[in-house]
Structure 1
Amino acid sequence: MNTSGKVIKCKAAVLWGLEQPFSIEEIEVAPPKAHEVRIKILATGICRTDNNATTGVMPAKFPVIVGHEAVGIVESIGEGVTSLKPGDKVIPLCVPQCGICSNCLKPDSNYCDMLDIVGKGVLSDGTSRFTCKGKPVYHYMNTSTFTEYTVVRDVAVAKIDAAAPPEKACLFGCAFTTGYGAAINTAKVTPGSTCAVFGLGGVGLSVIIGCKIAGASRIIGVDINPRKFEKAKAVGATECVNPKDHTKPISEVLKEMTGDSVRYTFEVTGNLDTMIDALASCHKNCGMSVVVGDPPASSVLTFDPMLVFDGRTWKGCIFGGWKPVNDLPKLVSDFMAKKFNLDELVTHILPFDKIEEGFNLLKKGESIRTVLTFQH
């Protein structure tokens, strides 16, 4: 059946408001307009950033379809789309690459002006492509992947190897790309160095993979959930520590463990206190701490300025520093060539209608990444 140019009715997980459960609804997905693409979603990961939208930590306009880590197939394209065609296997991008804004034109910046982290919830013309029960339903982070079909801008799509398995390749839409790039691109971890990763979820484990590939000799995983230690060691952590097992600040514990201090630290939880702990844990003069986790919206961080006056470097990281349209196809090709293994990151694969179960696994700390699959 040719659906090009027609409204598609399909199932989606709609959030009607804050602290509400996901509701599987029939929605209508409009055809793509100029420079837009409609995508049939094959698999999508559950990320803590999506959960943050349900609690207000990340801004969203309700009702909304969240989800931002997925693989799909291009179903149809709008006028003016030249880089993609129906049938292409793609990753929708929460960080677009328009190629013409001042940020995209900078070789060392990937913070495209079309990035939506303020929760506008609409596409370029100021409207949504989703409706449910006669009401508009809003987009999330340019992507909205908790639905059988979504519509995104063509600059927010990366074409990937057609043979890439969706259940693994979807992690390139956020978790792996962000964590791996934080080590490789943002920190530029050096061979023989010592690293500490605060938070051992899907992104944190991806940071560890990046540190290992970069040649770090010691990688310390830090988490208050010891059930994650086995996975962390499986991907490259040399040891793990639980701050709750110690009465001293974790920065002192790490200094005692290393005999000096850690050269690179990564904060991957989005917790404000942990950000300061991670900063204090890196070497006071030549250390670098990278903020990878999403901080709460409208929050303010208070810290001792001596932590940076002494010479530490404090950096933020958006999507691993990658130019996504250019770089994701290469990263997926590296994965297909077995440069890195993502098996340890995916702990659960569930059908899409089990989305609440997937989020419960996340909240209980029982999963690294749960991937939802669609039966079209």
Structure 2
Amino acid sequence: MRLSISRIVPILMGLILAALGAVTPPAGAQTATPGPDLLGVSRSATPPSNPMHGTPSAEVSRTARGTSRRLTVNVTSCTESDLQAAIAAVATVGGTVNLKRHCTYTLTDATPPNGDNGLPVIKNKVTINGRGATITRAATAGDFRFFEIDGPDGKLTLNALTLSKGHASSGLGNGRGGAIWLSGTGPALTLNDSCLTTNTADTFGGAIDNDNGSVSVNRSTLYNNTANSGGAVFVSPFGGSGTATVDRSRITGNHATRLAGGIAAAVGTTVTLTSTRVTRNDVTGTTPQGGGIAQAGTMTLKRSEVTGNTTTGTNAQGGGIFNVSGTVKLTDSPVTRNTANGTNSHGGGIFNTGFGTVTLTRSPVIHNQALGTGANGGGIFNAAGTVTLVASPVTRNQPNNCGSPSTVPGCS
């Protein structure tokens, strides 16, 4: 049933007020303290010789589904106030927001209006159809991410939407998820044909931090995001059961200062990349690990290239992939032109330690480099664990193909 503006204003305002009264983050959510190992691996698992280191100007309809009601809000302007009101109307009760095509919605609050979030906290099933729109944070605004999704019922789907310049600050909040934070157990995020770019997290997940929820990224791009760890995405930074699936997407040009320029995944997590490129991500610092990927859970790559990623600094490890105690399976997924650069650098393509397992099937390791004094394992450095090559040549890497080649059968 479609209602006129004059009839829906009282209804919508009531829903907005209800939503705004429920956006306080869960107790303690802003003060979580990281454990000693960001990937959740016990220090004993790594051999000592190789440490790991308004009311909207909109038409609104209500649709009865069983005993529940879902709102559809059509935002007909490009104003910040209308965007805020539209999302507030559905954040708690669920529903769909249709943004005006190709608008740019600029958030200008000097102080985050919803905890440390720029927009109302998502606590129910919400879909936002961007239709080519962008939501961005003004340069003069305070520091905030855009969305917090709270478990167990928070489910957010973004279609054809760009989120840019979010900043999750450890000064104003927990510093996690520069654009989006999945909080608690059970929240879910789906990105379709969307882009998260130029977002920053002071701690984990430059674009997305997923705490024990599920993330699905489809035909989307995570580009030029920055964090201490997990430049694009961090899945369960304190260990847990978080999942991520990435399909036909790009994770490119993201940055970290400690761990995982692209994707970080901790113990207990499951991550699957299909037809996805992990490219030109980097970590710069002391003992930087995993230019493209750093992980300790279970990760599967299918037809997904890991190329042109770098770790730079003393004891740089795993220019392409850093695996500690976890399981990585690559199928038809080449590891090429990655670099570990610095004194005592190891594993230009892949660094495996903590008794982790890496299996490559039809996945060549080619043109990777470990550079600097004491560099070793241009292609693969297996510190402690198992590396299996199945129709996967390791060749044309510098200064050598494998460090301790006897530990990588088939590599010389």
TM-score of the superposed pair, with normalisation by structure 2:
0.25
Larger CA Rg, structure 1 vs 2? 2
Higher relative contact order (CA 8 A, sep 6+): 1
Normalized per residue, the structure richer in helix is 1
TM-score of the superposed pair, with normalisation by structure 1:
0.27
